[in-house]
Structure 1
């Protein structure tokens, strides 16, 4: 990751979390960067060590994400890797698909409301990270320093659970 200068509130933390609200991967970008552009990078950074011998686990069994990740490339990436996903479809995408009708409109993507309700684990993971003042205030001037601060907070979360 390039070391870009990030100051104050102009940085954004992209992360993935497990079902127990523990951060699995962290990526820091400038604040104006779109969420979906970091989707692959966040998923590729997941490394969960196994109990005993063996390579670390690199992909989740399933994924729940919000509408920011409801685009073709993100869904295609998940399909290629065989990851079950629950992502709601954007309203404008729904309308465009329905306008096409039988002239080539694709079927709507599957959506499981019960699995989507578990998406709040990522919100709770972010709130756990923000309990650390240095992560919540983002006063670090450099992105790699803020990433180190967020990583230290994530380690504390992992050690406490």
Structure 2
């Protein structure tokens, strides 16, 4: 799970570990014992977040206007193609 510094709490890390995932959360500046994280994986969080925000510019994607999963996936694909061009 990729998250930002706001989610740097022991109970969040414990819940992620209990769910069977690996937490990639940088430690807050005021943590007495910083917990190491995968910096390369964390860099991709910003790219993913920017891409999702660009996709949300399409009203149909942001409001989940499409009823079926196939139609929604088609809309995501068309929006991604339009962003790429």
Same fold (TM over 0.5): yes
When the two structures are aligned, how many residues end up with a matched partner? 71
- Structural RMSD (CA): 2.5
Structure 1: runs of 5 or more not aligned: 1-62, 98-106, 136-147
Structure 2: runs of 5 or more not aligned: 67-71, 81-85
Of 82, 90, 109, which residue of structure 1 is paired with 2:35? Answer: 109
Tell me which stretches of 4 or more aligned residues in structure 1 moved more than 3 Å: none
Q: Higher relative CO (CA 8 A, sep ≥ 6), structure 1 or 2?
A: 1
- Residue 15 of structure 2 is matched in structure 1 by 77
Mapped partners of 2:14, 2:27: distance in 1: 14
TM-score (normalised: structure 2): 0.65
Displacement of 1:149 in angstroms is 5.3
- Residue 128 of structure 1 is matched in structure 2 by 55
Alpha-carbon distance change, 124 to 74 in structure 1, aligned in 2, over 3 angstroms? same
Mapped partners of 1:72, 1:151: distance in 2: 34
Mapped partners of 1:149, 1:82: distance in 2: 29
Establish whether residue 68 from structure 1 lines up as the match of residue 6 from structure 2.
yes
Give 1 or 2: higher helix fraction: 2
- Residue 27 of structure 2 is matched in structure 1 by 89
Alpha-carbon distance change, 84 to 152 in structure 1, aligned in 2, over 3 angstroms? same
Give 1 or 2: higher strand fraction: 1
